[in-house]
Structure 1
Amino acid sequence: MNSSDTTASAELGLRLVVPDRTAVPLVAQVDYTADDPYAIKVAFHTGEDEPVEWIFARELLTVGIVRPVGEGDVRVWPSTDDEERTINIALSSPFGQAQFDAPVSPLAEFLHRTYEIVPAGQEADYVDLDSEIQQHLHT
């Protein structure tokens, strides 16, 4: 895992869950920055030239480690697979659906580092609302 005072990143091993088939191993790059304290960017490396990127609420992944959470496009829930705690992530978009599972431990370690960078409940202290408003007004 790479990290600094304001960013954290890691590679996570995931499995693409394919009904009635063997799960397909994948690697995902997870990134966090204090500049966007509520979000975690996940880049799924699917073998294509460009990874498929999704942005998740940090809290969604955190809560999903202990109980089912989310609705609509993103759902996250815990499970135990062969004595190993895993987290399941189901994604849905107009382009299709996918379900992944991953060991909890590396994700929990990454999330812990994000909370060291920006503690829970202090996210708003890291957001420059004036700058955000100006950016959206000029795009």
Structure 2
Amino acid sequence: MSTEAIHAELVALHDGTPVRSRWSYRADQPFTVIAAFQTERDRWVEWAFSRDLLVEGLRGPAGVGDVRLRPEYEGELTMLVVEIESPEGYAELELDHAGVRSFLAATEQIVAIGAESDHFDVDGLIDELIRV
């Protein structure tokens, strides 16, 4: 199994305030994107969601659960709006659409869209579940 990974830091906006975010993708977890948002100086909140949701959200409204994505257009500027919701609260963040699209393109260099199953270690997952 490949252990290739990509990481990116992007700045999000929450009510006009900059928020640091870290995006990561790993070949050994080919279906999942992790986005972490800095809420305090040393506190990050991580959200895991499918890469397919990111693909869909860059094109149009996507998601019905705790993570929802949609492009938003303001003149010549295109943003990706990320809505995250949990029992602890709700946040709507705006990210540069091109920056997120570049991150997605980098993930495709590791695992092509549609080839995720070729990189997924089912036996490893079963072993992990059995040990719980």
TM-score normalised according to structure 1 size = 0.89
**1:125 has 2:118 as partner:** yes
Offset at residue 50 of structure 1 (A): 2.2
Counterpart Cα distance in 2 of 1:48 and 1:137: 37
Deviations 1:27-48 (A, max 9, x none): 1010110010011111101224
1:44-89 deviation digits (Å, cap 9, x = unpaired): 0122422111112111111111110100211111111242111101
Gapped runs of 5+ residues in structure 2?
none
Ranges of 4+ aligned residues in structure 1 off by more than 6 Å: none
- Counterpart in 2 of 1:60? 53
2:100 — aligned with what?
Answer: 107
Q: State which drifts further: 44-53 or 68-77.
A: 44-53
State, as a whole percentage, how many aligned pairs show the same letter.
33
Partner-residue secondary structure (3-state), 1:65:
helix
Counterpart residue number, 2:5: 7
RMSD: 1.3
How many residues get paired?
Answer: 130
**Over residues 83-120 of structure 1, what are the superposed CA-to-partner deviations in whole Å (9 max), with x where a residue is unaligned?**
21111011111111111011111110010010111001
Distance 1:59 1:81 in 2: 25
Supply the AA of the counterpart residue of 2:35: V
Between the aligned partners of 2:24 and 2:65, the Cα distance in structure 1 is: 23
